[in-house]
Structure formats: structure tokens, C-alpha cells
Amino acid sequence: MKIALAQLNYHIGNFEKNTASILNSIKKAKNTACDLIVFAELAICGYPPRDFLEFTDFIEQCHLNLQQIAAEAFDIAVIVGLPTHNPDKKGKNLFNSAAFICNGKIQSLHHKSLLPNYDVFDEYRYFEPSRNSNIIDFKGYKIALTICEDLWNIGEEQLYPYSPMDDLIAQHPDIMINIAASPFNYEQVDKRKAVLINNVLKYKIPLLYVNHVGAQTELIFDGSSLAINSNANIICQLKSFEEDFRIFDTDVLNSKDNSIFQEIEISKIESIHNALVLGIKDYFAKLGFKKAILGLSGGIDSAVTLVLAAKALGPENVKAILLPSQFSSQHSIDDALKLAENLKVAYEIIPIEEDYNSFENSLSPYFKGLPHDVTEENLQARIRAVVLMAFCNKFGYVLLNTSNKSEAAVGYGTLYGDMCGGLSVLGDLYKTEVYELAHFINKDKELIPHNSIIKPPSAELRPNQKDIDSLPDYEILDKILYQYIEKRKGPKELINMGFDEAIVKKTLKLVNTNEYKRYQTPPILRISPKAFGMGRRLPIVGKYLS
């Protein structure tokens, strides 16, 4: 039997586009004499649909498009994901389902049993878990069809009391098929492979796995769909961060071939780079935006953001605005200009000193001679934001935020100033990771001026200012932040790890007291296992460690 995997970039709620992509893939599979084609979890509506699932019309649209797909399922069978109604009055109204279609009809529905309700996932908010699992009989093969998390309850860390495959294996299937919506983070690809291989080792049958690709606001899906033979060897991995289409023969899947698939190795930082480029590209394309703008300071964060934006959207669709104040160094202006010229990105230079002085004059009667402090520093950042947003309104740009995760974590940024924007590109990268990304960008030639990478980081909001005046060295700060945010280590554990007690207490207090700032920031492209945003939910008014 020939089975096709269609790894597609879906758009949440764009039923016409999603269905057209599915139908095109079905036609392609028919032309190559495939017996079965498999699409991803919730393919018809896109993932995650979140509270769209509460609208009756949304669910009805899913079913109308399912019928349209079924009408093309002649001479080929189709597996496709969508939400379906739960006929039982008890429990949630919906199932997260996979439809098996053949001979122009929906032959069976298979519902997801294990509903993740952690980090970025909240499926139990909408769906009722299935309590029974049945195989599909098709052309002499018995297929164990599962949906994403249904295969993840394996190994030492099991979050659920049972595994659906334990029920399915008792029905003697020949092959496992898993349809998924598994978002990218820099640990997920290896973790996912290990989970899927462990399933093959446990159940002794081959596995086909198809994932989403593309970005849905914060979440980025890497694709990387897999075919694993009965000997638990990966025989093929579909492309990462691109749509793909592959055909597999069950004879090959059932072979005992021990040859190892020669995967092209991609480093952590390269996968982050590719994910961020895709994240920017899809955010703009799926919202109908075309042009991006950002404030270019000559520092590392805005430099890396500009490079990524130019790659994602094309340099002709990106504009850089230099907004120097009286505290801006000439070398920062020169570095910014050199980068814009290297990328062939249009730019403007708009000094803000006159605007700043005007604000000072307006406020001086009320400040009554009080010394300069963070108030005047923040004025500059907010003036810059006003200018950038004026360009957005007048010319249709979307402002890219350039803050990094280290700054966002400790509140080292100005609310309604440098923290504003339509999309945060680097908000899930620590400062040290931004430097890694800059070096990766420059691996073939110097796009980012060397001076932007090696100079001490500074907001340049007062004379001779350096980040280290207010924060620990980033090499130390980022290690503490990583252990606290990603690994959930408490103060005692961090101190026992050898970090200075005073720095630990200060850092954790800064993180927790600045939750209110992060709550007001733009969506952050997620590349880590624990990003600020939908996957990290902390109270703003909490007292813990603050």
C-alpha cells in the first residue's frame, strides 16, 4: 500500500485556503496512484483555533469543508483532522478528531484521548477525551490511528493514567499513523523523535507521523514529519520549516533495514534562525501585512531583528528608522547605517533631541528642579515609539519589537517605548543567544557590523551608559534566568548551584515584579521550551519572590 504524507502550512479559520491545499494534495496523491493520504491534526480549521471553537458557525464550516474533501475521496482514502460534535450531553461539546474517508464518505471518526493542558496547550478547555480506540481496516491493513499527544504517554514521565496505543495494539494493527500539531522549540525535534521511536520499539510496528508547518502568531511549527520502519529506524524526515509531500510503501516500512537515514544536521542556532524567519513571514502573510519598520540603534538586538525581517519579507519591504538623541554615539549611528546599506534596506535619520527638549521644557514647571533620572531616559524611548508608530499609521508599516528575553525578564525596557510593537522577534532569545545568532548570520560574510557585536551593550539614554551599570553581566544573568524560567529552579537551588545570593534574589525579584510589563508586550515568537506569553501564566499581583 502506498501512503502519502502531506505536510502543509495551514491558516487558522481560513477554510477556503486550507481546503484548497488539502484538495491539491489529494489530486497529487491520486496522480501517483497512492492508496491513502494523511493530513495533520485539526488540518481543516488550523491549530490552535482556541475560542473560535466556541462558535457554532466555526464548527459548521469545518463540517462543510469535510464534505467537500469527502467528495474527492474516490480511488483514494483520506485521513484528516478537524473538531467534531460530541453527541453525549455529558462532557465537553467537541472532540478533537481524525476523519477516515473512503469511497466519497466518512467511514469513521477517531477521537483524541490524551488532551494536553500544559504550557501552550489548553485542549481540555474545549475537547472531551475519547475513552475508546478502534483500528481502521483498509485494503488488508489494520491502521492504529492516533492524534499527537496520544503517543506521548510513554517512558518515565507519564502524565496520563493510560495510553491509547495499549488498547489499539490489542487489535493487532499493522501500522501506526499519528497526525499532529507539535510546535517547535529548540528541544522539541529531538524529544519528538525519541518519543516516536520509543513507540515503535514498544509496539513493534512501523509509524508514519505528519505534523503542521508554519507559524500561527507566537507558535511556530517546524514540520519535520517522520517515517519510522518496524526496526525503529527513521527512513525519512520531511523538510523542516517548509511544506513537503512524500510517499511511502508499506513494504519498505515493514522492512528490517538497519541502514540509518542520513539526516542533514541543523544546529540549534540555525534552527532558531529558520524558525524566526518563518515566524515573521507567516505573521505578516496571514494577517495581510506587507511592510515592516523598526528603530535601528546600531546595537545588536535591532541589527539581528533587521536581518531576520529582511530575509523574511525581502529588503524592499523593510524600513529602518535611526532616531539618535544627544546621548547617541557616532559609532552607533555609523554601525546602523552600515547595516542598512549592507542589507539594501531603506532608512531615514530622524534626530529626537529637539522633541526631547520640547518635552523637558513642557514638564520642567511640574518637575520643579528634580534631578534627571529614569523619567528622562524613558521620555526618549517613548518619543521614538511615537515617531515609529506615526510611520506605521501613515504608510501601513507594522512595527517590529527588538527587545530580547533578558531585558523582558528583568523589565529593562520602557513600557510604551522600546517595548511596543506588533510582533516581538527576539523576545524568546536571551541576550547571549542574540549574540550567537549574530555570529551565525555573519558566518559567510559580515552583514552585521563587527562593532555592533563586540561593543558593550548600552541603551544610550544617558552619558556613558552601559547595561552592566544596572544589570549583572549577561553571561551570569542569562544562566540564572534560564534556570529560573525554563527549569523552574527556586532561589535556594540557584544559590546551591553556585550563583551569588544577592544577584539571585535581585534577579528573581526583578522578574516577578515586572510581570505587568510583559503582560502588555506584543506577541513573542516562541523558540524555547518556556517562552513569555501564552505558555507562561503568572499572576501580576503575586507576592512570591517579589
Helix axes 353-367, 374-395, angle to 10 degrees: 130
Contacts of 223 (CB under 8 A, 6+ apart): 7, 211, 212, 213, 238, 239, 240, 241, 242, 243, 244
List % helix, strand, coil for the chain (3-state, nearest 5).
Answer: 40, 20, 40
**Cα distance between residue 238 and residue 226, in whole Å:** 6
Nearest to 360 by CA among 372, 345, 346, 350: 372
Angle at 200 between CA 9 and CA 194, to 5 degrees: 65
Q: How many residues does the chain have?
A: 546
Q: Which residues of the chain have pLDDT under 50?
A: none
**Torsions phi, psi for 119 (to 5 deg):** 45, -120
Q: pLDDT value at position 58? A: 98
Q: pLDDT value at position 469? A: 82
Positions annotated as catalytic residues are 41, 112, 148
**Cα distance between residue 118 and residue 375, in whole Å:** 39
How many CB atoms sit inside 10 A of residue 78's CB? 26
Contacts of 41 (CB under 8 A, 6+ apart): 47, 81, 96, 98, 112, 147, 148, 179, 180, 181, 212
Q: pLDDT value at position 546? A: 87
Q: pLDDT value at position 313? A: 98
Q: pLDDT value at position 263? A: 67
State the residue for C-alpha cell 490489542.
170
C-alpha torsion angle, residues 513, 519, 524, 529 (rounded to 10)? 60
**Cα distance between residue 12 and residue 44, in whole Å:** 9
- Please check whether residue 78 is in contact with residue 65, taking contact to mean a CB–CB distance below 8 angstroms: no
How far, CA to CA in Å, does 401 sit from each of 274, 282, 525? 18, 16, 11
Q: pLDDT value at position 254? A: 86
**Amino acid type, 210:** V
How many CB atoms sit inside 10 A of residue 134's CB? 14
Nearest to 412 by CA among 509, 300, 510, 487: 510
Beta bridge partners of 220: 215
Q: What domains can you pick out in the chain, each with its CATH number? A: 2-256 (3.60.110.10), 271-467 (3.40.50.620)
DSSP secondary structure letters along 352-380: -HHHHHHHHHHHHHHHTTPPP-HHHHHHH
Helix axes 300-313, 330-343, angle to 10 degrees: 10
- Please check whether residue 290 is in contact with residue 385, taking contact to mean a CB–CB distance below 8 angstroms: no
Nearest to 484 by CA among 462, 460, 459, 510: 510
Would you call 393 helix, strand, or coil by DSSP? Answer: helix
C-alpha torsion angle, residues 42, 44, 48, 50 (rounded to 10)? -110
The number of C-alpha atoms within 13 Å of 296 and in the hemisphere containing its C-beta is: 33
DSSP secondary structure letters along 255-313: ----PPP-PPP--HHHHHHHHHHHHHHHHHHHHT--EEEEE--SSHHHHHHHHHHHHHH
The two beta strands, 94-102 and 207-210, are unpaired
pTM of the predicted structure, to 2 decimals: 0.96
Chain center to CA of 120 = 10
Cell matching residue 460: 544610550
C-alpha torsion angle, residues 486, 487, 491, 495 (rounded to 10)? -110
Would you call 192 helix, strand, or coil by DSSP? Answer: helix
- Per DSSP, 127 falls in state B
Would you call 540 helix, strand, or coil by DSSP? Answer: coil
**Torsions phi, psi for 474 (to 5 deg):** -60, -30
The two beta strands, 244-249 and 2-7, are antiparallel
**Cα distance between residue 413 and residue 517, in whole Å:** 9
**Torsions phi, psi for 456 (to 5 deg):** -60, 130
**Amino acid type, 65:** N
